[in-house]
Amino acid sequence: MDATPKTPRTTVARQRDRGRYDRDTINAIIDESLICHVGFTVRDQPYVIPTTHARVDDRLYIHGSVGSRMLKNMRQGVPVCVTMTLLDGLVLARSAFHHSMNYRSAMLLGVAEEVTGEDEKRLAFDALVNHVVAGRSADVRAADAQELKATSVLRLVIDEASAKVRRGPPIDADEDYALTCWAGVLPLQLLPGAPIDDPRLMLGTPVPTNVSTYRRQRAQSDID
Amino acid sequence: MDATPKTPRTTVARQRDRGRYDRDTINAIIDESLICHVGFTVRDQPYVIPTTHARVDDRLYIHGSVGSRMLKNMRQGVPVCVTMTLLDGLVLARSAFHHSMNYRSAMLLGVAEEVTGEDEKRLAFDALVNHVVAGRSADVRAADAQELKATSVLRLVIDEASAKVRRGPPIDADEDYALTCWAGVLPLQLLPGAPIDDPRLMLGTPVPTNVSTYRRQRAQSDID
């Protein structure tokens, strides 16, 4: 399987059995995550900002206003770290110490570059909308020239990356299995409620099926 | 209302109407979030690591193995940024450009300090377990001396902090309200599934009510 190279910076040091380096695992986490947390440093102070993203092949796109601090800083070619985390469950052990969470996280390191070509910018825009709701870009008005100009799009080539996955029941200390308290996993999932019509929606506009039947795609084998 | 001081580093620069600085809003986001993303810098490379946390008054605690890279680095008194993000909904506009998300995020800046006193360490341990499931620490075996020794606990005083909140329907460009596509909000919530007994659970152990009726506390006024 296609794998990202393990580097000292991405090699999972603690609980090494949780580290994953194959591209399929990393991509699945990127694609299921609705948001990422972007880290960058300005005068020794790290900042961690949540934002939306989209992946096209081995490229991660993020975007924002031309005036945003995050994008202004990142455009200068500084090293960034982009992390996505999916929370799959609470792992409730018999001892405080062995409590944990089931999760899948991906961490990408690199230097982001600004997308300047209009074709790639449009492709990224579509990908960003379709990442949130599959097929949505075909239903809505595309960005016009002014909107494209007002938006910075950054590209991070997914090269130095790793994932970390925990799944399964708690692992208690041997002697604690005799304790009488309940132990197990409480699964968690980000789930949609009923769609809320925009107050100014034209009467009788139906909710499209990609919204009414919304689910994030998940690889079941990675959750069990 | 008690407020954190606005500093140039925490003042929300874009979409200023989304910025919040009152302690109640910030605390509610910290307390509802099951995980945070911790940013720190090592040799100019930022890292963003997901971890669990707990708040006691104006102190945020995070913990991890004494050997973890994150804690080894943070113990050296480097500046950190801790960000929590709650995703409340997809904001589906009539144009690609005006798509957004409803969310509540908190960002804390500062320098974390290692907790060395055993009493505070135990208090943090209890808070970390009870942050995940209210009252859980009373049901499970507390950390013993060896487990406490194997765990680093860091304290970040919540001083320089801000929150950002978006809620409500999409805001489209005036001329786009004539478009016929559906627009609105798809609410999202992290919800529990049915608890899964540990495979080695003693037969007949009931699921406690703090697990069987699990919900994260949310301030409804901040979501609508």
Per-residue pLDDT averaged across B111-119, rounded? 94
B213 to chain A: closest CA residue: A186
Smallest Cβ–Cβ distance between A96 and the set B142, B177, B184 belongs to B142
Quick one: pLDDT band at residue A220, thresholds 50, 70, 90?
A: low
Q: Position B153: which residue type?
A: V
Calculate mean pLDDT across residues A54-83: 88
Query: Whole-model pTM?
Result: 0.94
Q: What is the mean pLDDT of residues B198-218?
A: 94
Residue of A nearest to B42 (CA): A44
**Amino acid residing at B107:** M
Name the DSSP letter for residue B201: P
Number of cross-chain residue pairs from A and B with Cβ atoms under 8 Å apart: 296
**In which band, very low, low, confident or very high, does the pLDDT at A2 lie, cut at 50, 70 and 90?**
low
Task: Look at residue A64 in the predicted model and tell me its pLDDT.
Answer: 83
Structure tokens at B175: 């001329």
pLDDT higher than threshold 90 for residue A223:
no
Kindly list the domain boundaries of chain B, sorted by start residue: 16-187+203-216
Per-residue model confidence (pLDDT) at position B8: 77
**B chain contacts of residue A191, beta-carbon cutoff 8 Å:** 188-191
List Cα–Cα distances, A208 to B11, B105, B177, in angstroms.
38, 29, 17
User: Cβ of A85 under 8 Å from any chain B Cβ?
Assistant: yes
Find chain A residues with C-beta within 8 A of B69's C-beta.
13-14
Residue A125 contacts residue A142 (beta carbons within 8 Å): yes
Helix or strand run (H / E) with residue B90:
strand B79-92
Mean pLDDT of A96-118: 96
Cβ neighbourhood burial of A224 (10 Å; 0-12, 13-18, 19+): exposed
Q: State yes or no: pLDDT of B123 exceeds 80.
A: yes
- Confidence at A172, pLDDT banded by 50, 70, 90: very high
Summary mean pLDDT of chain A: 92
Average pLDDT over residues B69-95: 91
> What was the pLDDT predicted at B2?
64
ipTM comes to: 0.93
Of A110-124, A155-169, A209-223, least confident by mean pLDDT is A209-223
Are B110 and B74 in contact by the 8 Å Cβ rule? The answer is: no
Distance, CA of B218 to CA of B29 (rounded, Å) = 9
* Mean per-residue pLDDT, B26-52: 95
Q: How confident is residue B220, by pLDDT bands cut at 50, 70 and 90?
A: low
* pLDDT beyond 80 at A44: yes
| Average pLDDT for A46-60 | 97
3.90.1150.10, 2.30.110.10, 1.20.120.530, 3.50.50.60: which CATH number matches B16-187+203-216?
Answer: 2.30.110.10
Average pLDDT estimate for A187-201:
97
CATH architecture of A16-172+183-218: Roll (2.30)
Residues within 8 A of A (CB atoms), B 102-131 only: 103, 105, 107, 109, 125-126, 128-129
**Alpha carbons B129 and B114: distance in angstroms, whole number:** 19
In degrees and rounded to multiples of 5, residue A151 shows phi and psi of -115, 130
Are A193 and B177 an interchain contact pair (Cβ–Cβ within 8 Å)?
no
CA distance A53 to chain B (A): 12
Instruction: Specify the higher pLDDT residue, B11 or B211.
Output: B211
Residue B1: per-residue pLDDT: 46
